[in-house]
């Protein structure tokens, strides 16, 4: 796959690089269409499940492969502004935040329906393409396995990750609901709910999303969408 990429695509820039791997912006030499290429230590089980899936709130996955413990993924480049960039300028109104969160729930419903958990929902991983919110970056995502008592690899972002992501128990869709609650609060207040809780009905939604005990959160994203 990587050899073919060098023949068909040219590198524009490095978007992100770490010990785990890197993310590149590529351009197809003939069509000039931009794409994202991910190369990282880990598996691409979730990316493979997304092959052929079309959802306006998820990027289109073109190819996904593994070799010698390294995953390689080619996906659609989402043009727009990240939520983290937009939050540098201003907070969101309740109506705006509700609209974004509902769209992210639509993306999560697709993931959760195939047994996947994103595990890294944060402003940097949400792109607004016009008025459409797109959830990206499934490098930390995993498939839920009934026989496991905890995650085999602890990943996530401090502040957004649910408590169970730190080895307390295996993560399921309720871990993403926790992160969605934190994200909603930050969109409204600019702060983590432990520092300042959003007011009104949305504050109550945040509280339920971020319960320490997963059983006390919304049971699934469809329930959360209905409430919103």
Instruction: Choose the weakest-confidence range: 73-77, 131-135, 155-159.
Output: 155-159
Q: Map out the domains of the chain with their CATH numbers.
A: 2-76 (3.30.200.20), 81-227 (1.10.510.10)
Question: Using an 8 Å Cβ cutoff, are 46 and 142 in contact?
Answer: yes
Counts for the chain of helices (H) and strands (E), in that order: 7, 10
- Name the β-bridge partners of 117: 142
Residue 197 DSSP one-character state: P
Per-residue model confidence (pLDDT) at position 149? 42
In sequence order, the 6+-apart residues with CB closer than 8 A to the CB of 1 are 63, 65, 72, 74
Q: What's residue 155's pLDDT?
A: 46
CA atoms within 13 A on the CB side of 96: 13
Mean pLDDT of 100-120: 96
Q: The tokens 């230590």 sit on which residue?
A: 41
Higher pLDDT, residue 148 or 52 = 52
The distance in angstroms from the start CA to the end CA of the chain is 42
Question: pLDDT value at position 165?
Answer: 76
Could you tell me the pLDDT band of residue 102, with boundaries at 50, 70 and 90? Answer: very high
Q: Which of the residues are catalytic? A: 120
Residues 135, 105: Cα–Cα separation, whole Å: 10
In the prediction, which pLDDT does 3 show?
62
Report the half-sphere exposure of 70 (CA within 13 A, side-chain side). Answer: 13
CB atoms near residue 159 (< 10 Å): 13
């Amino acid at each position: 796959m990587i050899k073919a990429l060098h023949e068909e695509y040219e590198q524009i820039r490095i978007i992100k690089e770490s010990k785990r791997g890197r993310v590149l912006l590529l351009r197809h030499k003939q069509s000039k269409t931009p794409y994202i290429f991910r190369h990282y230590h880990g598996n691409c089980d979730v990316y493979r499940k997304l092959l052929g899936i079309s959802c306006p709130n998820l990027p289109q996955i073109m190819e996904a492969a593994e070799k010698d413990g390294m995953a390689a993924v080619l996906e659609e480049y989402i043009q727009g502004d990240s939520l983290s960039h937009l939050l540098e300028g201003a907070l969101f109104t309740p109506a705006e935040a509700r609209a974004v969160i509902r769209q992210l729930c639509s993306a999560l419903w697709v993931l959760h329906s195939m047994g996947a958990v994103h595990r890294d929902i944060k402003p940097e991983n949400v792109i607004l393409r016009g008025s459409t919110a797109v959830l990206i970056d499934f490098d930390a995502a995993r498939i839920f396995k009934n026989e496991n008592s905890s995650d085999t690899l602890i990943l996530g972002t401090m502040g957004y990750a649910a408590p169970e992501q730190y080895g307390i128990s295996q993560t399921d869709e309720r871990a993403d609901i926790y992160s969605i609650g934190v994200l909603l609060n930050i969109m409204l207040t600019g702060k983590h709910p432990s520092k300042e809780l959003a007011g009104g009905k949305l504050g109550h939604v945040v509280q339920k999303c971020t319960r320490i005990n997963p059983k006390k959160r919304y049971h699934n994203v469809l329930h959360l969408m209905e409430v919103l």
